[in-house]
Amino acid sequence: MPFARLAAATTPTAHIGMGLAAVGRPGYITLGRESDLPPSRSVEALRERTFELLDAAYASGVRYVDVARSYGRSEEFLADWLHARPDHRDVVVGSKWGYTYTADWRTDVEGPHEVKDHSVAAYDRQRAESAALLGDRLDLYQIHSVTPESPALTDKELHARLAALAEEGVTVGLSVSGPGQAAAIRAALEVTAAGEPLFRTVQATYNLLETSAAPALAEALDAGPRRHRQGGRGQRPPRGPARARRAP
């Protein structure tokens, strides 16, 4: 089920998605949590809230849902909702790997609540975890928060793993963050596996206050048609238009 399904699942002018980071774990950086979420931050309370949000989003025409291994139980909650709504086959699912959630459903943990690791070992572990929850409903799997110095841009063994996943029909992409977004996107455009561009999507921070990735995103959009004319597989690396997300 390629990520390209999104074009058929939504209208051309409303490719709007919803992320579950704020409801997948009891503590997160999103503002307004005290007024938007129930007083109880139990697993069941946030599972119920996630179902409410997904039902409302689906009724409004939203067909793309973004989760991640580091978003607590977001994959689990989404998988439960999809199982309870078997007729919603037009929902397109994207997840991300590369951060491990370490707070164990607590908000009072000292230090970071997630740990970044772009190694092959981390991919193997988290890919298995995502597959166990989402199975064949996973359309897009992205490396979480790639920066210019990330080993994910140079690790050929990891690239081979990701290319194998793409051969199974899952679209492979990356998200970028921080002041070096443009450099990370340009580096990703040069990554190949078996002579073919590896990454087909990019998720970037882009809003009124943060537009630095715009030139690199434009280059990524242009790269797809150029490589197609040169004999590539015909998908855009990264595929566009890029999805924007709110900066933390």
For β-strands 138-146 and 171-176, DSSP reports them as parallel
Domain residue ranges of the chain, discontinuous segments joined by +: 1-143, 147-248
pLDDT at position 68 is: 98
The 10s digit of each residue's pLDDT in 93-121 is 999 999 999 999 998 888 899 999 999 99
Q: pLDDT-based confidence at 163, cuts 50/70/90?
A: very high
Q: pLDDT-based confidence at 6, cuts 50/70/90?
A: confident
Residue 191 pLDDT more than 80? Answer: yes
C-beta separation of 99 from 114 below 8 A: yes
Mean pLDDT across 164-175? 96
The 10s digit of each residue's pLDDT in 192-211 is 999 999 999 999 999 999 99
- pTM, whole model, 2 decimals? 0.88
Mean pLDDT across 142-168? 97
DSSP 156: H
Mean pLDDT across 119-128? 98
Check residues 182 and 232 and name the one with the higher pLDDT. 182
As a whole number of angstroms, the distance between CA 106 and CA 139 comes to: 30
As a whole number of angstroms, the distance between CA 64 and CA 159 comes to: 26
Residue 45 pLDDT more than 90? Answer: yes
Token pair for residue 42? 């139990």
- φ, ψ for residue 154, nearest 5 deg: -125, -10
What is the average pLDDT value for the chain, to the nearest integer?
Answer: 88
Q: pLDDT-based confidence at 234, cuts 50/70/90?
A: very low
The 10s digit of each residue's pLDDT in 55-99 is 999 999 999 999 999 999 999 999 999 999 999 999 999 999 999
Query: Residue 194: what residue type?
Result: A
Which class for 234: exposed (0-12), middle (13-18), buried (19 or more C-beta within 10 A)? Answer: exposed
pLDDT at position 183 is: 98
Give CATH for domain 1-143.
Answer: 3.20.20.100
Q: What percent of the chain has pLDDT over 70?
A: 87
Q: What percent of the chain has pLDDT over 90?
A: 73
pLDDT at position 10 is: 72
Which contacts qualify for 37-42: CB closer than 8 Å, 24 or more apart? 41/107
Write the Ramachandran bin of 72: left for phi over 0, alpha for psi from -120 to 50, otherwise beta. Answer: left
pLDDT at position 225 is: 56
C-beta separation of 92 from 63 below 8 A: yes
Full DSSP string of 42-111: -HHHHHHHHHHHHHHHHHTT--EEE--TTSTTHHHHHHHHHHH-TT-TT-EEEEEESEEE-STT-S--SS
As a whole number of angstroms, the distance between CA 49 and CA 24 comes to: 10
- φ, ψ for residue 215, nearest 5 deg: -60, -40
